[in-house]
A and B are shown apart, each in its own frame.
Chain A
Amino acid sequence: MMLSVKDLEVKYGNIQALHGISFHVNEGEIVTLIGANGAGKTTTLMSICGITPPRKGEIAFKGSRIHHLKPESIVQLGICQVPEGRRIFPGMTVVENLEMGAFLRNDKAGIKSDLDMVFDLFPILDQRRSQLGGTLSGGEQQMLAISRALMARPRLLLLDEPSLGLAPLIIQQIFEIIKKINKESGTTIFLVEQNANQALKLAHRGYVMENGRITLVDKASVLLENDEVKKAYLGL
């Protein structure tokens, strides 16, 4: 098992964001966590990355506990997040942004070949190498954010709402790339989305989250047919 989360509780001051959630992600899987705004999806990702440490419960990566580790140690283990809203560095060039993704690595040759790899994945970024991140379009920024995370060579890639604010055609493109990353390099993917339809079509399994609790778990194809999910998240 790649990632296992058990009875995770997170509080912000007096506000409880997560009420003891449990889930797991197997190696090579694409798992999605869907839910409405404020359900606790981003908090879940932030706890995995060591930004918001849990009050209770445990997070384990490949069998060893990681919830007491610093964010940089967690990245070093191979967990990398593409944050909500992309958060690329606007005044730094595309290449500089990517180099920041490889901050913890010292293998120059490996970094160079990974640069070629992401430029292969997103040819548009290759054309924009020395352009400032802030001048890219929303879709290009999302591609850059994904590429920046890939530069850390993650075993587990966490994606927070990659479809946010993008045109349907671009969303399609981004999701196809996510699938490709999973297929070709075997990178395990944990995808947090509000766009339930797209996410469930892409994923192998899905979790539904409501008010800090996980309410449904199943194969993605089953969730797509689930009446509750259809009503609440697919607008059917």
Chain B
Amino acid sequence: MLESFLQNLINALQWGSFYALIALGYTLVYGVLTLINFAHGDIFMVGAYIAFFAASFALTTLGLSGWAALALTIPITMILTAMVGVTLERIAYRPLRRKGANRLYVVITALMCGLILEHSNLAILGASRKAFPTLIDLKIYHIGGVTITNLNIAVILVTSLVFIMLHKIVTKTRVGMAMRAISYDKFAVPLMGIPLDNIIVITFILGSGLAGLAGLMFAMSYPVLEPYMGALIGWKAFIAAVVGGIGDIRGAFLGGFLLGAVEIMVVAFFPSTLRDLIAFTVLLVILTLRPTGLFGIAKTTKI
């Protein structure tokens, strides 16, 4: 019993890591722009594909070893995915912001951007799935009755480290404080000489870079890529962010793990076809009880 619990816990932490990483991007952008960037799940998908091309290039064209290829793939994926996010902000969201468009239009634009990313992928690369190359050898450890892989550990550790760093950035650095300031009052911020557009760009760099990292780790863990892979996981990560209290990074982090845990536990005890139904029901109940999410208390700690 204890063994099966521990096993499920590890699975939940690993699965929840992906939700948490993507949810952080949703919540960062929401905190600064009060925009739900519905293209974010597809930015994650683009990240996975960028990782695929970067890894394939490093392995075959450059002939690097797995570890060297990984070391190269991580920064390339994060930087290029961040550029995709920043490009969306530049060509889609910023013009609407300049015109003072209603939030509804911006959200619809975000949805469309996501669909454009999905379908341009389909148009360019075709419908066939891509198999992600093996970068590092999978090592499986058996501790007691619990099975854990080096990849599991890496995913959980990296996600936790990313969260700690992001939390430091948001609470301790000048740019992070400016992000919080914008979330409270974006009209007052320019009067202090804080360049609004630059801070927004940095927010998109952070959020999309993390989505890229999530895409890479996801592709390494589940090495089959297809254009719609970001859609459902993106929605779920969004819900995780809302359950945690959107706008608060601690909420996104915990919400992601909570959703991962619910899904894994459902599969452990019920038929797996019930997974999404029960997971969403649990989240609905949480939101009914706490409409502002776990950390959304009194709006005192946004982002």
Contacts and interface: CB of A to CB of B under 8 A. Distances in A.
Given A71-B190, A75-B193, A87-B185, A100 B301 contact: no
Contact of A91 (B180, B192, B193): B180
Contacts of A149: 191-192
A89 B300 contact: no
B178 to A, nearest CB: 6
B277 interface: no
A101 B181 CA distance: 11
Interface in A151-184: 152
Given A70-B195, A72-B193, A152-B192, A103 B178 contact: yes
Please indicate which of the listed interface residues A49, A74, A75 has the most CB atoms of chain B within 10 Å of its own CB. Answer: A75
A2 interface: no
Nearest to A104: B193
A69 B177 CA distance: 24
A47 B302 CA distance: 30
Given A91-B302, A134-B300, A101 B192 contact: yes
Interface string A57-79: 00000000000001110111000
Contact of A90 (B192, B195, B300): B300
A91 B184 contact: yes
B190 A92 contact: no
Nearest to A51: B190
Interface residues of A, number: 29
Contacts of B129: none
B180 A103 contact: no
A80 interface: yes
Contacts of A148: 192
Nearest to B191: A81
Contacts, number: 72
Contacts of A88: 188
Contacts of B184: 89-92
Contacts of B187: 83, 87
A126 interface: no
B299 interface: yes
27 contacts: A49-B191, A51-B190, A51-B191, A70-B195, A71-B190, A71-B191, A72-B193, A75-B192, A80-B192, A87-B188, A87-B191, A88-B188, A89-B181, A89-B184, A90-B300, A91-B300, A91-B301, A92-B177, A92-B181, A96-B177, A99-B174, A99-B177, A100-B181, A103-B174, A103-B178, A132-B300, A149-B192
Given A72-B194, A91-B299, 14 more contacts: A49-B191, A71-B191, A72-B190, A75-B191, A87-B187, A87-B188, A87-B191, A89-B180, A91-B184, A92-B177, A96-B177, A100-B177, A104-B192, A132-B300
Q: Which 9 A-B pairs have the closest CB atoms?
A: A75-B193, A87-B188, A71-B190, A104-B193, A72-B193, A89-B184, A91-B300, A72-B195, A81-B191
Interface of A: 49-51, 70-72, 74-76, 80-81, 83, 87-92, 96, 99-101, 103-104, 132, 134, 148-149, 152
